[in-house]
Amino acid sequence: MNDDLITRFRWHAADDPARPAVVEVGRSTTTASYDDLDVAARALAGWLRSQAAVGDRVLLVQPSPIGFAKAFLGCLYAGCVPVPAPLPGLSDHHLALTTGIALDAGPRLVLTDTAHLDLVADWLVQDGLEDLALFATDLVDLSTTEPIDPVSRSSAAALLYTSTPTSLTGHLLTHAELAADIDRLDAAVDFAAHGTVGGWLLTDHGPSLIGLLAGPLSVGASTVLMSPTGFFRQPLRWLQLIDDYDVRLTMAPAFGYDVCVRRIPAADLQAVDLSRLRTALIGPDPVPAATIAAVADRFAPCGLDPRALTPAYGHGVRVITVSPPGDRTAGPLVVAADQKALERNLVQPGADGVPLVGCGPVAGTGLRIVDPVEGLALGDDLVGEIELADGSRTGELGAVHEGQLYPTGRLTDRLVIDRRSLYADEVERAVNALDPRFAGLSGCVFGIDVLQEQVVVLQEVRPGIALSELEALAAVVREGLRDRLRVRVANVVFLRPGQIRRSAERVQRTLMRDLFCSDALGPLLETLGRRTAQTYRIARSAETAGRP
């Protein structure tokens, strides 16, 4: 298609106005038809034109799926640029992220709803943003509606943000780019064929916004949504939503599936039927094979077909490759990569190898695998940095094997030890399996530059373990990694539960490395190699002088 989201949505609103567009599931259930959304968006657009000019940015702090849909479409109708942001105050991470987005985007005004007006107002004052005009969309005068002008496909449609622990990046999408992103995902999953889409809507997460809201609305499908807050409070509600509303297509980042596996008791699953779910997109971050296996195993009694599990790969705000469900006769494509070959940056199948998950064909995507240093294209089966069609580098490593993209890890998480490439998460899993006292607790592995790269292992343990036992556990870690991965580790640090920082269930390795290097961890036990101690613990280096 060559038209834009607004043109497509308004066509469906005229063709089948009573069709449910968004069903919001929470403490109560609310349904907005295509006509309801169109009327509300036109009214909001009329009001917005009295407050902002075409091209002005509008910060949307709207956790309600229907409220967000009305505000997002209203901005597009008015020619304004919606800037979705998470609700501040859910956590320190969300507070800092929302403030960072507001400072970088430079919005003309902020839109929320009555239920969250006081919270958002307090945040604006607290972070010195009180000059921004704040409105609750359910309180403003929506009596004026104006004709909706055709949009230019080259004009800005939305400003979406991605973040890491150390950076915030804005992605300004034109109407043409937004439509292309919708079409790319639609070509892979076929929204209309599924009929009903559903899940928990991360409004500030590009793939979630496109896959659960913009995509379905562009093809005339219905989408059943809950808020992220509702999901994290009670993950079971996501699965109940799928069952109760006959949802055939859902999607979430990998950590969402991990949350379900960890937090939903088996007894609560007995009344859940997932047999009608045809596609469960997982991504767009690289998907661990352990997540695929755990989800398939845990929800098999609910009737979940493993073929429904559909890994995807994306970067920034886009989903780029999707493993087509129709091309698989079993579950997702998983290659057991020979460990020694992978250490030489080569993907070769081997018995008892490292499981890598296929995330879809690269043909037609423009993706390339390049040497991280030289930037030269690499051939099939060679591990290098994933480069996008526009030539931008992702900082993520992977290989193309038999036409499929197999991500292997992040460039910053690769450890080069004695000319061997290992990945931090691989070492973390190995550590976690060494002793039952590590079960259910977080670990973090990273490299530090001390003449040559040295590995540091941080592992949470429960309090109450005697110092002598901790010292014995440190020896277990060192010997276990030497035997299992042929890695010599002199630096083992034990922390209390919760000390290893996570964001969206992902270990913040850069932050933990910084805390370690600045001696700010407050460990239960820290055993360091001599060179590490001399570099980072000058005052205490004499205590570890005997270690290499």
**Per-residue pLDDT tens for 333-392?**
899 999 899 999 999 999 878 899 999 999 989 999 999 999 999 999 999 999 998 888
Alpha carbon 426 to chain centroid, angstroms: 20
CA–CA separation, 483 and 443 (whole Å): 19
pLDDT higher than 60, residue 202: yes
CA–CA separation, 12 and 137 (whole Å): 24
Query: Encoding tokens for residue 212?
Result: 């659960």
Q: Which CATH architecture has domain 422-544?
A: 2-Layer Sandwich (3.30)
Higher pLDDT, residue 91 or 197? 197
Among 284, 275, 241, residue whose Cα is nearest residue 260: 241
CA–CA separation, 473 and 434 (whole Å): 9
CA–CA separation, 17 and 11 (whole Å): 9
Task: Write the class of the CATH domain 5-233.
Answer: alpha beta
Task: Go through the chain and tell me how many residues it has.
Answer: 548
Q: What is the pLDDT of residue 96?
A: 83
Among 301, 188, 293, residue whose Cα is nearest residue 251: 188
pLDDT higher than 80, residue 496: yes
pLDDT higher than 80, residue 317: yes
Element housing 156 (H / E): strand 156-164
Our CA angle for 289, 310, 400, nearest 5°, is: 65
What is the chain's mean pLDDT, rounded?
91
pTM of the model: 0.86
pLDDT higher than 60, residue 545: no
Fill in the amino acid letter for 480: G
**Burial of 542 from C-beta contacts in 10 A (0-12 / 13-18 / 19+):** exposed
pLDDT higher than 90, residue 306: yes
Q: What is the DSSP string of 458-472?
A: EEE--TT--HHHHHH
Q: Do domains 5-233 and 422-544 have the same CATH topology?
A: no
Q: What is the pLDDT of residue 519?
A: 94
Higher pLDDT, residue 426 or 480? 480
3 state SS of 545: coil
Q: Does domain 333-414 have CATH number 2.30.38?
A: yes
Higher pLDDT, residue 541 or 537? 537
Domain positions in the chain: 5-233, 333-414, 422-544
pLDDT higher than 80, residue 275: yes
Q: What is the pLDDT of residue 538?
A: 67
CB 291, CB 258: distance < 8 Å? yes
Among 334, 278, 328, 274, residue whose Cα is nearest residue 308: 278
pLDDT higher than 60, residue 547: no
CA–CA separation, 357 and 355 (whole Å): 7
Q: What is the pLDDT of residue 151?
A: 86
